[in-house]
Amino acid sequence: MEQTIISLKNFIPECVLIVTILVCLLADLIVRKKSAVVAVIGIAGLFVSGWFVIGQFGVKESVFFGMVVIDPYSVFFKLLFIVSTVFIILFSLASKEIKDSTHTNEHVYLMISLTLGANLMASSVNMLMMYLALETVSITSYVLAGYMKKSKRSSEAAMKYVIYGAASSGIMIYAMSLLYGYTGSMNIFEISSILSKMGGTNPMLVIVMVMILAGFGYKISSVPFHFWTPDVYEGAPIPVTGFLAVTSSAAGFAVLIRFFSVTFLKSTTMLNGSLQIIDGIRWTEIIIVLSVASMIIGNFVAVWQMSFKRLLAYSSIAQGGYIMLGLVVANQQGLTAIFVYLVAYMIMNLGAFYALIMISNKLNSDDINDMKGFAYRAPAVAVGMGIFMFALSGIPATVGFVGKFYLFSALIESNMIWLALVGMMNSVVSLFFYIKVLKYMFLSKPDEENSGKIYYGIAGYVLLFILVIPTLLLGIYFGPIVRFAEMSAVMFGLK
C-alpha cells in the first residue's frame, strides 16, 4: 500500500492523461458535434502532463513493484510523445478528412490514449507491462486507422492492420512466455542477471530474441515486419498517418532499445559503464541486418511511389533503419545519436505531414501527379514542403543533417565505417524521391484547368512556420538538442 502511494506520486503525468481522456469523453458527450473545445481540453491536458514530466527530469526510480521506471530516458520519450500529440491534434483540426468523417471528436481522446500507451512503453521494465502498453497503442491505432468508416480504403487499412498486428503480437508473446519459462522472471533486470549467469549459448534464446523482435519490429516498421505500413499509411487519414509515423514508431523504438540494452547485456557490466553483450547473444548483428534491409527496401521502393502517403511510408521505414544504426553501436554515444535523430525525425516528419495535409485539403488527393506546379499556386506551402524534404534527405543546414551526422559519427568512432557508408549511400538514393516531389511542385507548370492560386487561413501558415523554424534553426544551432540528448541518454539501472 505504501509503495503504491509513493508510486502514484511518480505517476502523476499518466494520471493527468487518464483524467484528460475522461474529461474529453464527457465533453464530447455534452457538445455532441464537431467542436474545437474538446481538442483544446485535450491539448491543455497534454500541457499539464508535460509540465509534470519535465518535473521528473533527473529522477531515477522504479515504481509499482518493478513494473515501470522513471528515468531520463523515459522522460525524453514522454516529452517527445506529448509534443507530437499536441501537433497532431492541431493537424486534425486543420484536416479536411477528419472534418468530413462521421465522428464527432473521438480522435482527440483516442490520440491521447495512444500517448498514454506510448508513455508506458517508454517506461516499462517488465515484459507483461511492455506487452500491455504495446497493445494499448496498437488497439487505439487500429481504431484511428479506420477512422473514416465510410471510406473503403480506410476500413481495409484498419482490417489489415488488425490482422497483421495480432499476428505479430502473437509471435512476440509466445517468445516472451518462452523466455519466462527459461528464466522464471518477467522483470528484464532479473532476466538479465539470470542470463548473465547461465550464458547465452542455448539456441532457443536466438529464437526468442528474433520472435520478440518481430513484435517490436512491427511497431517500428522494420523490414521484414513492415508490410502493413504502406497500406495503412495510405488508407488512414493523414493526421493519423503522421501520428503512426512519429509517435507510434518512436514508442516502438523506446521499448525496443530498453528491452535489448537491458535484457541482453551482462548485468555485472551495467553499473561500471563498460557494457558487454551476454556471450552467444549477438543481438546487435540482427539489428544490423534489419537496419540495412530497412534502409535499402525503404529507400529503393520509395523511388517509384506516386502516392505521397505511400512515399512517406517507405520513407519512414528507411528512417527507422537509420535510427537502428545508432542501436548497433550499443553505447552512450549511440543512444545520444538516436535521441538527436529522433528529435530531428519528429520535427521534419510532423512538418512533412502537415504540409501534405495543407496540400491534400485543397487538391483532395495525395497523388504526386496532381501536385504539378503547386509552387506556382501556393508558394509558401511548397517552399515549406521543400524544406522538410531537404531535411528528411539530410541536406546540411537542416535538422535532418544534424541527426544523420551524429548517427554516422557514432558509427565511425566505433569503427563501423562500412555501415556508415551504407547509410550515406542510402541517403543519396533517398534524395532521389524526396527531390522528385519538389520537381513536380517547382519545375512542372500546373495544368491549365487547375492553375488558380490557393490561399490558406493565417493559422495554417503560422503552424507551418512554427515547424519550419526549428527545422532550419536547429540545423545551424544544434547545441541544445545535443545537450538535451546527452542528458536524456541515461537509462535506469545502466550507468
Partner 1 sequence: MTKYFLLVTLLPLFGFLINILFGKRINSEKFSGYLSSFLVFVPFFITFLVFLDFISVPPESRKIVLNYFNWIAAGKLSINYSFVLDPLSITMVMVVTGIGFLIHVYSIGYMHGDESFARFFSYLNLFIFAMLNLVLADNFLLVFLGWEGVGLCSYLLIGFWSEKKFTGDAAKKAFIVNRIGDFGFMTAMFLIFANFGTLEISGFLGNIAGMPVNSVLLTAIALLFFLGATGKSAQIPLFVWLPDAMAGPTPVSALIHAATMVTAGIYLIARTSVLYALSPTASQIVLIVGILTALISATIALKQNDIKKILAYSTISQLGFMFIALGTMSYGVAIFHLITHAFFKALMFLGSGSVIHAMHDEQDIRNMGGLKNKMKITYITFLVGAFAISGIPPLSGFFSKDEILYQTFINAGILPYIIVLFTAALTAFYMFRLTGLTFFGKARYDENKVHPHESPRTMTIPLIILGILSAVGGFIGLPHFTGLPNYLERWLEPVFTNANRVIQLYKPEGHHAVSVEILLLILSVLVAAGVIYFAFKKFSKQERFEKEKGFGKILENKYYLDEIYDKSVVEPVQNTSEFFLWKIFDVKIIDGFVNGISFYVSRLSIDWRKIQTGIIQDYATITIAGVVLIILYFIFA
Stretch that binds partner 1, among 57-65, 243-251, 296-304, 353-361 (CB under 8 A): 296-304
Cell 495525395 belongs to which residue?
366
If one asks whether residue 344 binds partner 1 (CB under 8 A), the answer comes out as no
Name the minimum Å distance from CB 108 to partner 1.
30
If one asks whether residue 279 binds partner 1 (CB under 8 A), the answer comes out as no
Pairwise CA distance, residues 328 & 46, whole Å: 33
Stretch that binds partner 1, among 202-210, 239-247, 363-371, 437-445 (CB under 8 A): 202-210
If one asks whether residue 478 binds partner 1 (CB under 8 A), the answer comes out as yes
If one asks whether residue 48 binds partner 1 (CB under 8 A), the answer comes out as no
Pairwise CA distance, residues 327 & 366, whole Å: 34
Q: Which of 203, 272, 418, 452 binds partner 1 (CB under 8 A)?
A: 203
Pairwise CA distance, residues 208 & 227, whole Å: 22
Determine whether 234 is exposed, middle or buried from the number of CB atoms within 10 Å of its CB (0-12, 13-18, 19+). Answer: buried
Distance of CA 88 to the CA centre of its chain: 13
In degrees, rounded to 5, the angle at the alpha carbon of residue 443 between the alpha carbons of residues 439 and 446 is 110
If one asks whether residue 194 binds partner 1 (CB under 8 A), the answer comes out as no
Q: Which of 15, 482, 487, 490 binds partner 1 (CB under 8 A)?
A: 482
11 vs 225, which CB is nearer to partner 1? Answer: 225
Q: Which of 6, 207, 424, 459 binds partner 1 (CB under 8 A)?
A: 207
CA nearest neighbour of 138 among 168, 98, 174, 97: 168
Cell triple for 127? 515484459
Check: CB of residue 82 under 8 Å from CB of residue 49. yes
If one asks whether residue 100 binds partner 1 (CB under 8 A), the answer comes out as no
Pairwise CA distance, residues 74 & 85, whole Å: 16
If one asks whether residue 164 binds partner 1 (CB under 8 A), the answer comes out as yes
If one asks whether residue 96 binds partner 1 (CB under 8 A), the answer comes out as no
If one asks whether residue 397 binds partner 1 (CB under 8 A), the answer comes out as no
Q: Which of 52, 174, 182, 300 binds partner 1 (CB under 8 A)?
A: 300
Name the minimum Å distance from CB 208 to partner 1.
10
120 vs 223, which CB is nearer to partner 1? Answer: 223
On the question of a cis peptide bond just before residue 237, with omega within 30 degrees of 0, the verdict is no
If one asks whether residue 435 binds partner 1 (CB under 8 A), the answer comes out as no
| CA 55 to each of CA 59, 122, 394: distance values in angstroms, whole numbers, following the listed order | 9, 17, 33
- In sign, the C-alpha dihedral spanning 160, 161, 162, 163 is positive
Name the minimum Å distance from CB 10 to partner 1.
32
36 vs 204, which CB is nearer to partner 1? Answer: 204
Name the minimum Å distance from CB 302 to partner 1.
8
Check: CB of residue 111 under 8 Å from CB of residue 89. yes
Name the minimum Å distance from CB 114 to partner 1.
23
Q: Which of 27, 89, 297, 420 binds partner 1 (CB under 8 A)?
A: 297
Name the minimum Å distance from CB 73 to partner 1.
21
385 Cβ contact list (under 8 Å, min separation 6): 352, 355, 356, 359, 437, 438, 441
If one asks whether residue 225 binds partner 1 (CB under 8 A), the answer comes out as yes
If one asks whether residue 160 binds partner 1 (CB under 8 A), the answer comes out as yes
Stretch that binds partner 1, among 98-106, 163-171, 259-267, 347-355 (CB under 8 A): 163-171
Pairwise CA distance, residues 324 & 288, whole Å: 8
Q: Which of 47, 51, 65, 227 binds partner 1 (CB under 8 A)?
A: 227
Helix, coil or strand: residue 100: helix
If one asks whether residue 65 binds partner 1 (CB under 8 A), the answer comes out as no
Q: From residue 404 to residue 423, what is the string marking binding to partner 1 with x (rule CB under 8 A)?
A: -xx--x---x----------
Pairwise CA distance, residues 40 & 17, whole Å: 14
| CA 54 to each of CA 51, 475, 485: distance values in angstroms, whole numbers, following the listed order | 5, 24, 14
Determine whether 100 is exposed, middle or buried from the number of CB atoms within 10 Å of its CB (0-12, 13-18, 19+). Answer: exposed
Name the minimum Å distance from CB 225 to partner 1.
6
CA nearest neighbour of 136 among 149, 123, 148: 123
Name the minimum Å distance from CB 3 to partner 1.
39
If one asks whether residue 473 binds partner 1 (CB under 8 A), the answer comes out as no
Name the minimum Å distance from CB 274 to partner 1.
20
Q: Which of 167, 194, 275, 454 binds partner 1 (CB under 8 A)?
A: 167
| CA 371 to each of CA 107, 389, 441: distance values in angstroms, whole numbers, following the listed order | 28, 15, 6
Cell 521484414 belongs to which residue?
224
Residues near partner 1 (CB under 8 A) are 160, 163-164, 167-168, 171, 203, 206-207, 210-211, 214, 223-225, 227-228, 230-231, 282, 285-286, 289, 297, 300-305, 405-406, 409, 413, 429, 432, 477-479, 482-483
